[in-house]
Amino acid sequence: MNYLHGSSAIDVSQMRVISQIQINLAGINQEITI
């Protein structure tokens, strides 16, 4: 998470996408375990 780079906006958007993917994977794992 380097906000000093000129591509900070891209880094933030990538972090949001990664977090959404992790949340989706967590939901899938919960459905499988149930």
Torsion sign, CA atoms 19, 23, 26, 32: negative
Structural Rg of the chain based on CA atoms: 14
pLDDT of residue 17: 93
3-state secondary structure of 1: coil
Using one digit for the tens of pLDDT, what is the confidence trace for 1-34?
455 556 666 678 888 999 999 999 998 888 877 6
- Structural domains counted in the chain: 1
Q: Is the pTM of this model over 0.85?
A: no
Residue 24: domain span: 1-34
pLDDT of residue 29: 81
